[in-house]
Chain A
């Protein structure tokens, strides 16, 4: 028995990988349909913030995630965009991450197809090109955004676009949302939110979510969507369930497996130690 437990404690990690893979495939093939009842308060804060914005307010969305974090963050971006368009807000989309350009293209394709087919590019929303050196961009956006963005991603001049009417810098905008898998949100808060008193909100991966609790408490962040659960919460709030909600089943089972493994390992360790 002792040998068996010792072998189990040092089990080949590939067997654990296999068990997890089987467990994750199952809910994707046959969804469990678990209800998402407890919504995060910080997600509700962002939702209420957008709900309270008057029509034609300008929301700046910085989508700074690359394909690696796409499964967690793309559903957040889509849900927030859907909500913003539903509230008849103007949306400016940009990225400071070179790897996100293709994802921005995907979103650009989806807006006229299913996210908001009635919205007009140039009047209701605009997509700005990728710019390197994030700190420079953020500093410039607080002073005069046309110094850094004079054309959109297709090369059309933006100054006279209806979507930018009355907008010179972030002080003329009503909300900024940075969705990122890196520390870009910290830069947005420091260089734009705090410096120019620009209201900021964020969407981050689940592992980074805890680190932004201080910013939520001080009010430097007006709301935060964390990971796939956050995306699912937001989809529940806007009453439009998509990829975020569908991933919750797999997430639930994976969490359950982690708990079982940790508890089992500790029981075996205690057994070996004391019995």
Chain B
């Protein structure tokens, strides 16, 4: 049992990891074919995994409805929403357009999914404003520098801000877009590069830990 649960998965992980790594250095058609096969297998696994997730979702919400836990009414919407989109999709064979007219799926996508998704994203705008008011307090010198940079960027990114800057500080002959460009090109890039390099190194070490079987969380420990 240990062989199947522990050693075989570790061996598969090690071999596949090494082969994928080696394919970067071997320009042969064989390594290209290997990568293609791996990608196709990943697609197939993702498809079956989605089915698994769907069953988990339905089961979890069915239980909530059956036991009538708090908020079980919301669980009904999972099934309603699923049927409202899937049934028209099956009827129109997955097509959103039937010639020039919308199918049921297309209508649902354009007038329900589009609107709901856009609404969720737009909530971010409100949250950003309220968070900025609540949390952006200058309590230290570093926070002051951050505020100054943020202020310049907020002003410099929109025409109204640019007009205001030109009117109030135009005498400095320093355009806000120049400052914004400098901020984007120098401190932002430097900070981002530093974080990117750290993340890249961390990513490499994590990948090596998995390939060589030191990190085994994903298969449950012994």
Q: Give every chain B residue within 8 A of A38 (Cβ-Cβ).
A: 159, 162, 175-177
- State whether the Cβ of A257 lies closer than 8 Å to any Cβ in chain B: yes
A254 within 8 A of B: yes
Q: CB of B174 within 8 A of chain A?
A: no
Q: Is A105 a contact of B40 with CB atoms below 8 Å?
A: no
Q: Which of B100, B133, B159, B189 contacts A262 (CB 8 A)?
A: B133
Enumerate chain A interface residues (CB-CB to B < 8 A). 11, 13, 16-17, 20-21, 24, 34-38, 41, 66-71, 99, 101-102, 105-106, 108-109, 132-133, 135-136, 139-140, 143, 147, 206, 210-211, 213-214, 217, 229, 248, 251-259, 261-262, 265-266, 269
Q: How many residues of B contact A (CB 8 A)?
A: 58
Which chain B residues lie closer than 8 Å to A256 at the CB level?
160-161
- Which of chain B's residues has its CB closest to A38's CB? B177
Q: Are B160 and A253 in contact (CB under 8 A)?
A: yes
Q: With A34-B160, A68-B120 in contact, do A213 and B184 touch (Cβ < 8 Å)? A: yes
Give the distance in Å from the alpha carbon of A11 to the alpha carbon of B106 in the complex.
Answer: 43
Partner of A133, one of B42, B120, B175: B42
Q: How long is the Cα–Cα vector from A37 to B177 in the complex, in angstroms?
A: 11
CA distance A101 to B94 in the complex (A): 11
Is there an interface contact between A262 and B39, defined as CB atoms closer than 8 Å? no
Question: Is B117 a contact partner of A66 (Cβ separation < 8 A)?
Answer: yes
B114 on interface, CB distance cutoff 8 Å: yes
**B35 within 8 Å of A (CB atoms):** yes
* Closest partner residue, chain A, to B45 (CB atom): A133
- Check: B80 CB closer than 8 A to any chain A CB: no
Please name 11 pairs of A and B residues whose Cβ atoms are closer than 8 Å in the assembled complex, sorted by A: A13-B134, A16-B133, A35-B159, A38-B162, A38-B177, A102-B113, A105-B106, A106-B110, A214-B189, A252-B161, A256-B160
**Given A136-B42, A140-B36: 5 more A-B contacts, CB < 8 Å:** A71-B122, A256-B161, A262-B132, A262-B147, A266-B136
Q: B129–A258 contact, CB under 8 A?
A: yes
A225 to chain B, nearest CB (A): 13
Q: Is B126 an interface residue (CB 8 A)?
A: yes
Residues of B within 8 Å of A139, CB to CB, are 35-36, 39
Query: B69 near A: Cβ within 8 Å?
Result: no
Those 7 A-B pairs whose CB atoms lie nearest each other, nearest first: A136-B39, A252-B160, A67-B117, A68-B121, A102-B109, A13-B130, A68-B117
> With contacts A251-B158, A253-B160 known, is A133 near B133, CB below 8 A?
no
B162: chain A residues within 8 A (beta carbon)? 37-38
Closest chain B residue to A273, Cβ basis? B139
> Please, how many angstroms separate the alpha-carbon atoms of A165 and B101 in the complex?
31
Contacts of B84 in A (CB 8 A): none
- Complex-state Cα separation, A215 to B129, whole angstroms: 29
Main secondary structure of the interface of B (DSSP, over half): helix
Q: Is B154 an interface residue (CB 8 A)?
A: yes
Within 8 A of A (CB), among B192-221: 192-193, 196
Most chain B beta-carbon contacts within 10 A, residue among A16, A21, A70: A16
- Whether A252 lies near B158 (C-beta < 8 A) is yes
B74-118 residues with Cβ-Cβ distance < 8 A to A are 96-97, 100, 106, 109-110, 113-118
B157: Cβ under 8 A from any A Cβ: yes
Task: Report the Cα distance A29→B79, complex, angstroms.
Answer: 38
Interface pair B109/A210, CB less than 8 Å apart: no
Whether A261 lies near B184 (C-beta < 8 A) is no
Q: A residues within 8 A CB of B159?
A: 34-38, 248, 252
Determine if B155 is an interface residue (Cβ-Cβ < 8 Å).
yes
A217's closest neighbor in chain B, by CB?
B189
Of the candidates B129, B157, B176, B185, the one whose C-beta lies within 8 Å of that of A229 is B157
Q: Which residues of chain A are within 8 angstroms of B96 by Cβ–Cβ distance?
A: 101-102, 105
- A214: chain B residues at CB < 8 Å are 189, 192-193, 196
Contact A265 B185 (CB under 8 A): no
B150-189: contact bitstring with A at CB < 8 Å (1 yes, 0 no)?
1100110111111100000000000111000100110011
Q: How far is the CB of B118 from chain A (nearest CB, A)?
A: 6
Verify B155–A255 contact, CB threshold 8 A. yes
Distance, CA A38 to CA B113, complexed state (A): 35
- State how many angstroms separate the Cβ of A138 from the closest Cβ of chain B: 10
Instruction: Give the residues in chain B near A136, CB-CB below 8 Å.
Output: 36, 39-40, 42-43
CB atoms of A70 and B192 under 8 A apart: no
Contact status of A133 and B39, CB under 8 A, knowing A70-B114, A265-B136: yes
Task: Judge whether B42 and A102 touch: CB under 8 Å.
Answer: no
